[in-house]
Amino acid sequence: MRLDAEESIYNGKYIRLTIPPTNEPGCVSGGQVEAILSPELKMRLKLSGSQFPRPIDHPPEVRYYIKEAPGMGLGAFALCDLSMGDLILAERPLLVIPAAVPLEDMSGYATELQARTAILNRWDETLKASLRRMSPENQRSYMALANNYAGQASMYSIVCNNLSRVNHSCSPNTDRRFDVDTFSLRLYACRDIKKDEQLFLTYYPALLDPHQERQRDLAVYGFTCNCQSCEDGEASDRRRKRIAFLQEQWQESKSLSGTQMLETISMLIELIKQEGIESIELYGHCMQTMSGTCISLGDEAGATRYMEMYNKWNQRDDKIL
């Protein structure tokens, strides 16, 4: 494994480094990555072996395209019909950085405002230094992404050339996972998607929150969400509140019979589909539980059907930074 141009910053709290390209023939998405990582994550990469980073496992054909999306700037769209669990896109980031500005000692400043300004200025210079290390092509790609979403994977924010063009919805039809071995971000269909349908991710982690809370917190991205759930916010809130209630009832009850369990989980699955939030982990738990409950009731066909659905939904990798 080779990590280039390493530099310790922030008194050893982070390491600025370049992850070299994979040099895949004819591949433009396996390129150089500029990163600011913790020493622990850097060691984790070193322990992943001499083949790091592995070549990216791409879809068998191109499955998306980029074009203007009304009122959203550029967006990503399905180039073909997609099934739940299909890999749509995999690419290495332009930039990987900590999701939060590193904390520093503020005791040497006269006021808290001066301290915060100095900390933000230093972080701004740190990011500019990483940008200067990029190739001219990657610099142009990064600057063209002004105001686009930097996807977050656990403790890190990730900026990609194409995947960062996927716009937000509170009813997303895709989900993303970061694969450490290839150091790539992967986009999956979390439900069936029709050709030419726009692809959406959620920028908001708690999709069962009321729509007004989501709108307030999404304001930082400079847009107002007009997805189907926010357009009819009151009706959506009722359904999402019902989902949360049924989830609590299911998880806390120890006395539900097999038939009652099927009824409760069936209602949950239907409500999740109505709200278009198949990306949430609860959806997977529902399918697993339905399969197990069908087995206990002697319904082998039902158990197989739900397990097959779960396996398709769970194609997503689970290697988060």
What distance in Å separates the CA atoms of residue 248 and residue 238, rounded to the nearest whole number?
15
Over the stretch 17-69, which tens digit does the pLDDT of each residue have?
Answer: 888 887 655 454 568 899 998 888 888 777 666 677 888 989 999 999 999 99
Average pLDDT, the chain: 86
Nearest Cα to 227, choosing from 165, 167, 174?
167
User: Residue 321 — very low, low, confident or very high, per pLDDT cuts 50/70/90?
Assistant: low
User: Residue 273 — very low, low, confident or very high, per pLDDT cuts 50/70/90?
Assistant: very high
Top-confidence residue, 119 or 62: 62
Contacts of 225 (CB under 8 A, 6+ apart): 168, 169, 170, 214, 215, 218
What distance in Å separates the CA atoms of residue 277 and residue 202, rounded to the nearest whole number?
9
What distance in Å separates the CA atoms of residue 28 and residue 321, rounded to the nearest whole number?
23
Query: Could you tell me how far CA 265 lies from the centroid of its own chain?
Result: 26
Over the stretch 135-190, which tens digit does the pLDDT of each residue have?
Answer: 888 888 888 875 555 555 567 889 999 999 999 999 999 999 888 888 899 999 99
Ranking 42-51, 93-102, 207-216, 271-280 by mean pLDDT, the lowest is: 42-51
Over the stretch 285-296, which tens digit does the pLDDT of each residue have?
Answer: 999 999 999 999
Q: What local confidence, expressed as pLDDT, does residue 3 receive?
A: 64
What distance in Å separates the CA atoms of residue 172 and residue 201, rounded to the nearest whole number?
5
Query: What integer is the mean pLDDT of 85-112?
Result: 85
Taking residue 181's Cβ as centre, other Cβ atoms within 10 Å add up to 17
Q: What local confidence, expressed as pLDDT, does residue 23 receive?
A: 62
User: Residue 92 — very low, low, confident or very high, per pLDDT cuts 50/70/90?
Assistant: very high
Q: What local confidence, expressed as pLDDT, does residue 136 receive?
A: 87
Global pTM reads 0.86
Q: What local confidence, expressed as pLDDT, does residue 10 receive?
A: 84
Tokens, residue 306: 């739900």
Query: What integer is the mean pLDDT of 234-263?
Result: 88
